[in-house]
């Protein structure tokens, strides 16, 4: 697939530069009037970004959203081919093999329910770092072939469709694996730190979006977690063993396959802070977070604090288009770093709650994907600092940045210096108290 640089080498109607292949349902007459042939014709030389007006006249809304979410690089280089189905965008024989496996799997699983899943999804799912029984269950979820209560009632096998865990609503696949209040707690407390909203789109959409941009390890964690939730639910239904969030997560660890010995470089055991920690003397901690809404728009938030936990600066940005949550986080990092430069910070410890972004930053790989390019651009900006690094904190330790991200829509584009909105003070004070230096 083509990655847009300056757009001069990509033909809008013939080349594959959008995820679903060449654009369809377009207003070709308008496109012809404007002489649109190359992707560069859709980029405004005046504002240096996408020409939204023209794009909206030509393409259907879903395509518009995808185009606007393509991050144009700060340095407009030539267009480049990348491999779209892995995080780094680099082609390897292994990636090709996994792709073919995915195509095979999807041709087997071609029921109407499974049709929403792309080859990239199946490839990521079957190739994930999890036990076969976990993958098989995820596959059955995608087929709608799990004996969930609502389904048993529909088939006349059972009479009672209510969720056995929360006893609040019908047990559907979406409810049992995502939106049940007890299950939401598991997702959130897991190493993935996924915050399921009550109105989250279905499990299928969620998995599709998450897995196609995840690496094998993250995809494996997702599959294992789904398996563990199902197993714990069954232990409660059939053995009367209460569903306990912590125990589910403890099992999740034991179920993961043992790490391959080739990669045992001592970093397999990862314990991350779950609360905010003060930066070392002389450094500033910059927490950032992106909040992606269902329509593909995102709010960005960042906050800079000193060794005493005092807020020196905070900012929000809204109405940013993104292709995926992790891309939103990468965009947020690039934005936050640029802002830190403008605000004059020179010793900065960045902090994210996005494990994929953290891994990408650590790997220093020169990938070809949009995500990899954004991380590289963020790294390039690092030369403006005397010290800069990125660390990871669990979601619970990133609550102030999360607040700004979630409220970015109402704040709009805004910067606070040595001042914060009153509503965020309890979170700031909470971080100060929980990170108090031990006397
Ligand atoms: Zn429930």
Question: Which protein residues have a CB closer than 5 Å to ligand 1 (ion)?
Answer: 163, 165-166, 180
Task: Give residue-wise pLDDT tens across range 302-359.
Answer: 999 999 999 999 999 998 888 888 889 999 999 999 999 999 999 999 999 998 898 8
Kindly calculate the radius of gyration of the chain based on its CA atoms and give it in whole angstroms: 23
The C-alpha atoms of residue 229 and residue 225 are separated, in whole angstroms, by: 6
Residue 439 lies in a domain: no
Q: How far is the CA of 181 from the centre of ligand 1 (A)?
A: 6
Q: How far is the CA of 382 from the centre of ligand 1 (A)?
A: 46
Same domain, 249 and 127: yes
Same domain, 254 and 297: no
Q: How far is the CA of 154 from the centre of ligand 1 (A)?
A: 18
Q: How far is the CA of 174 from the centre of ligand 1 (A)?
A: 10
Q: How far is the CA of 166 from the centre of ligand 1 (A)?
A: 4
Task: Let me know: does 4 contact 72? Beta carbons within 8 Å.
Answer: yes
Instruction: Say which CATH number the domain at 377 has.
Output: 3.30.420.10
Q: How far is the CA of 3 from the centre of ligand 1 (A)?
A: 42
Same domain, 106 and 129: yes
Same domain, 159 and 122: yes
The residue out of 44, 79, 114 marking a domain boundary is 79
Residue 65 confidence class, pLDDT cut points 50, 70, 90: confident
Q: How far is the CA of 177 from the centre of ligand 1 (A)?
A: 9
3-state SS of 224-274 is HHHHHHHHHHHHHHHHCCCCCHHHHHHHHHHHCCCCCHHHCCCCCCCCCEC
Q: How far is the CA of 204 from the centre of ligand 1 (A)?
A: 18
Same domain, 158 and 73: no
Same domain, 13 and 112: no
pTM of the predicted structure, to 2 decimals? 0.60
129's tokens: 């770092």
- What is the rounded average pLDDT of the residues 200-225? 84
Number of domains in the chain: 3
Task: Let me know: does 400 contact 428? Beta carbons within 8 Å.
Answer: yes
Q: How far apart are the first and last CA of the chain?
A: 57
Q: How far is the CA of 230 from the centre of ligand 1 (A)?
A: 12
pLDDT averaged over every residue in the chain: 85
Q: Is the pLDDT of residue 107 over 80?
A: no
Q: Is the pLDDT of residue 177 over 70?
A: yes
Q: How far is the CA of 164 from the centre of ligand 1 (A)?
A: 7
The residue out of 243, 258, 273 marking a domain boundary is 258
Residue 235 lies in a domain: yes
- Domain range for residue 312? 284-434
Q: DSSP readout, 322-376?
A: -SSHHHHHHHHHHHHHHHHHHTT--EEEEEES-HHHHHHHHH-----SHHHHHHH
Same domain, 58 and 167: no
Same domain, 151 and 250: yes
Q: DSSP readout, 52-74?
A: HHHHHHHS-HHHHHHHHHSPPPS
Q: How far is the CA of 142 from the centre of ligand 1 (A)?
A: 19
């Amino acid at each position: 697939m083509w990655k847009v640089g300056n757009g001069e080498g990509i033909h809008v109607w013939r080349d594959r530069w959008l995820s679903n292949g060449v654009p369809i349902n377009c207003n070709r007459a308008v496109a012809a009037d404007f002489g649109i042939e190359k992707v560069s014709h859709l980029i405004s030389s005046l504002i240096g970004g996408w020409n939204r007006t023209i794009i909206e006249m030509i393409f259907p809304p879903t395509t518009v959203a995808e185009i606007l979410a393509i991050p144009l690089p700060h340095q407009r280089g030539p267009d480049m081919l990348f491999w779209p189905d892995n995080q780094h965008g680099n082609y390897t024989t292994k990636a090709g093999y996994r792709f073919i496996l995915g195509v095979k799997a999807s041709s087997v699983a071609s029921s109407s329910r499974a049709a929403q899943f792309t080859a990239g999804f199946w490839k990521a799912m079957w190739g994930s770092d999890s036990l076969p029984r976990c993958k098989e269950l995820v596959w059955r979820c995608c087929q709608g072939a799990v004996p969930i209560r609502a389904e048993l009632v529909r088939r006349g096998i059972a009479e009672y469709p209510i969720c056995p865990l929360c006893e609040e609503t019908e047990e559907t696949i979406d409810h049992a694996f995502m939106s049940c209040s007890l299950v939401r707690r598991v997702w959130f407390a897991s190493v993935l730190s996924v915050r399921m909203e009550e109105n989250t789109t279905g499990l299928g959409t969620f998995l599709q979006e998450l897995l196609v941009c995840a690496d094998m390890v993250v995809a494996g964690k997702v599959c294992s977690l789904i398996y563990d939730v199902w197993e714990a639910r069954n232990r409660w239904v059939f053995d009367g063993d209460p569903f306990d969030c912590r125990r589910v997560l403890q099992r999740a660890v034991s179920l993961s396959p043992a790490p391959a010995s080739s990669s045992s470089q001592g970093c397999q055991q990862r314990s991350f802070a779950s609360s905010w920690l003060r930066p070392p003397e002389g450094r500033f901690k910059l927490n950032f977070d992106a909040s992606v809404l269902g329509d593909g728009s995102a709010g960005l938030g960042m906050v800079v604090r000193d060794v005493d936990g005092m807020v020196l600066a905070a900012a929000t940005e809204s109405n940013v288009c993104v292709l995926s949550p992790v891309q939103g986080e990468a965009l947020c990092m690039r934005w936050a770093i640029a802002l830190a430069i403008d605000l004059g910070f020179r010793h900065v410890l960045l902090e994210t709650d996005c494990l994929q972004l953290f891994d990408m930053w650590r790997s220093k790989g020169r990938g070809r994907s949009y995500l990899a390019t954004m991380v590289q651009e963020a790294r390039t900006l690092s030369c403006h600092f005397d010290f800069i690094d990125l660390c990871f904190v669990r979601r619970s330790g990133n609550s102030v940045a999360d607040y700004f991200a979630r409220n970015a829509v109402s704040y709009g584009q805004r910067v606070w210096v040595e001042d914060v909105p009153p509503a965020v003070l309890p979170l700031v004070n909470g971080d100060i108290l929980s990170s108090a230096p031990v006397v």
